[in-house]
Chain A
Amino acid sequence: MNAKRIDKIATGVLYGVAALVVIILVALLGFILIEGVPQISWHFLTSPALAFEAGGGIGIQLFNSFYLLFLALLISLPISLGAGIYLNEYAPQNTVTGLIRTTIEILSSLPSVVVGLFGYLFFVVQFKLGFSIISGAFALTVFNLPILTRSIEEALANISDNQREAGYALGLSRWETVTKIVVPAALPSIITGVVLSAGRIFGEAAALIYTAGQSAPALNFSDWNPFDISSPLSPMRPAETLAVHIWKINSEGIMPDAKDVSAGASAVLIIAVLLFNFLARWLGKRLYKHLTAE
């Protein structure tokens, strides 16, 4: 066989493999969307779930998912930013730093159900936080920290050293250089990383089953005092999220339209995660354009 022929065969095989991946993905997405989208209505998106009758919605679960996501990012972003800055800008290249990096890698490969059980023992039981949004947010932080730290570290590492030198040469301190030059320049990729990790958090179920709980008590949407237990903002209330809801309906749902609710909820979840991904790309590109040209 000559080189040209081999190249043709290899190209064909690679095309085939790539097509296979795309087909599987499209089929999966298509199935979920075709089954689920007809179930989606304003009523479905806004009304509370019903345990025994048909016609329940996912309103509270949807709100819980976003609120939990917000809290989890609120906690994990500053920590990850600090850790990422330390690792890339300050940490000396020695065994301790290597150990920290290894630990982060191990943490990031931790199965989420293990994170959930750890969260249950640590936050729910030990710290007596109960099944609550705050327990869930902490568990999601454990889940999210390693990945976010890694992506922030990489975003910073991609900023050329000549930017740092430029700062030093102007008499700026390392702190000024990092916070005013390096981090802003890395902002597009940092934001992309944050939004992508938001998509992962949004779809997470296992880490939340034993921390944020599996019940969605009725909320009083006219009460925005975070200290009232029925307020949507209360961090101490149990909060079943969309992903947990889907899992629960499929394992023990007894409402007559369980299949439809599950299909609709899955479609909403998938659409939300897709939106996060598109948002990440769009924001990253836009910010990058803003920084590099008019």
Chain B
Amino acid sequence: MADNSMTTDQRNILKFDPKDHEIALSTEDLHVFYGKSEAISEGDLQFERYKISALIGPSGSGKSTYLRSLNRMNDRIATVKGKIMYRGLDINSNDIDVYEMRRHIGMVFQRPNPFAKSIYENIAFALRQRGVNKKQDLDEIVERSLRQAAMWDQVKDDLNKSALALSGGQQQRLCIARAIAIKPDILLLDEPASALDPVSTSQIEDTLLELKQNYTIIIVTHNMQQASRISDYTAFFNLGKVLEYAETGDIFTNPQVDLTNDYISGNFG
């Protein structure tokens, strides 16, 4: 990086006391490299259980890269060094069964990506691969997940229709339903509403606030209002570094780092 003027004392990173806060996931000294270039340096964050944590920052700041490293989606395209601690396990180590791990840490992507299957199959399919075969069980989980994603009433009569016929907002909620159907602990969302209209966006936000009761949510967003509306904690990324991580209210009203202030008041990014 050309700009090395930033020093650690200009950073403001929240550290939880494990006695008062249950930590669902944390990273220690995370570095991500694409080839030789370093996309993330010093990613140290803790995520509290049953809270929504937002990752904000300008394009190219590394927030998506960071998020995708958390459930090892970057394995084939990048080198990730450092520790990702989940339930006392370093899930970034080589001995981890990545497929099993991803059932605990689910993900929803920027573009809705339903499978070219029916609405029902989109959800039931992964369950069946895990050995849930009874029709009754599947029906139950499909209904519950769609209810949690707040779309059951709209699609309950069309479960056999192709998911690709749904609108963008509905597709994205189906993707959320699909992700929570396998009952992960943690839900990672990579700008889940950026391709959607304002109405769908606010529905997704409501859904996330509902889900918070049972899931730890980490969300990357470009949308400052979105971060302030739904998140409990916010991390500000710039040039591959976390510059500030604090309670969302503090970040937006009283940022400690000048760059954070510049970014949230729209001066750059």
B-chain residues with CB within 8 Å of residue A165 when the two chains form the complex: 73, 107, 109, 113
Set of chain A residues within 8 Å of B130, measured between Cβ atoms: 171
Interface stretch (choices A180-188, A215-223, A265-273): A180-188
Verify if B106 is at the interface (C-beta below 8 Å from A).
yes
| A-side contacts of B99, CB under 8 Å | 168, 171-173
Stretch in A11-19, A132-140, A240-248, A286-294 with 4+ CB within 8 Å of B: A286-294
Q: How far is the CB of B18 from chain A (nearest CB, A)?
A: 28
Contact between B102 and A171 (Cβ–Cβ < 8 Å)?
yes
Closest CB of chain B to A216's CB: distance in Å?
45
Q: Is B261 an interface residue (CB 8 A)?
A: no
Please, which residues of chain A bring their CB within 8 A of the CB of B108? 169
Chain A residues touching B, range: 20 to 34
Within 8 A of A (CB), among B101-130: 101-103, 106-109, 111, 113-117, 125-126, 129-130
Q: Given the complex of chains A and B, what is the CA–CA distance between A168 and B71 in angstroms?
A: 10
Question: What residues of chain B lie closer than 8 Å to A166, measured between beta carbons?
Answer: 109, 113-115, 175, 178
Which A residues touch B162, using CB under 8 A? Answer: 290-294
- Is there contact, CB below 8 Å, between A171 and B161? no
Q: Which residues of A contact B208 (CB under 8 A)?
A: none
CA distance A176 to B130 in the complex (A): 11
CB distance from B85 to the nearest CB of A (A): 19
Q: Is there a chain A Cβ closer than 8 Å to B227's Cβ?
A: no
Tell me whether B106 and A162 are in contact (CB under 8 A). Answer: no
CA distance A180 to B127 in the complex (A): 13
Nearest opposing residue in chain B for A166, CB measure: B113
Give the dominant DSSP class at B's interface: mixed
CA distance A160 to B101 in the complex (A): 24
Contacts of B100 in A (CB 8 A): 171
Interface size class of B (residues with CB under 8 A): 20 to 34
Q: A162 — nearest CB in chain B belongs to which residue?
A: B113
* A:154-196 near B, CB below 8 Å: 160, 162-163, 165-173, 176, 180-181, 184-185
Contact in complex: B106, A170 (CB < 8 Å): yes
- Cβ of B131 to closest chain A Cβ, rounded Å: 12
Q: Which residues of A contact B204 (CB under 8 A)?
A: none
User: How distant is B19 from chain A, measured CB to nearest CB, in Å?
Assistant: 32
Q: Is the CB of B103 within 8 A of A171?
A: yes
> Quick one: given A163-B115, A176-B129, are A169 and B164 in contact (CB under 8 Å)?
no
Q: Which residues of A contact B175 (CB under 8 A)?
A: 166
- Asked whether B102 lies within 8 Å of A168 as measured between CB atoms, the reply is yes
Expressed in whole angstroms, the Cα–Cα distance for A128 and B210 within the complex equals 72
Instruction: State A165–B101 Cα separation when bound (angstroms).
Output: 15
20 A-B pairs with CB atoms under 8 Å apart are: A162-B109, A165-B107, A166-B178, A168-B73, A168-B99, A168-B102, A169-B71, A169-B73, A169-B107, A169-B179, A170-B102, A171-B100, A171-B101, A171-B126, A171-B130, A171-B182, A172-B129, A180-B129, A185-B115, A292-B165
B residues with CB within 8 A of A: 71, 73, 99-103, 106-109, 111, 113-117, 125-126, 129-130, 161-162, 164-165, 175, 178-179, 182
Shortest Cβ-Cβ A-B pairs, 7 listed? A171-B103, A162-B113, A169-B107, A170-B126, A171-B102, A293-B165, A291-B116
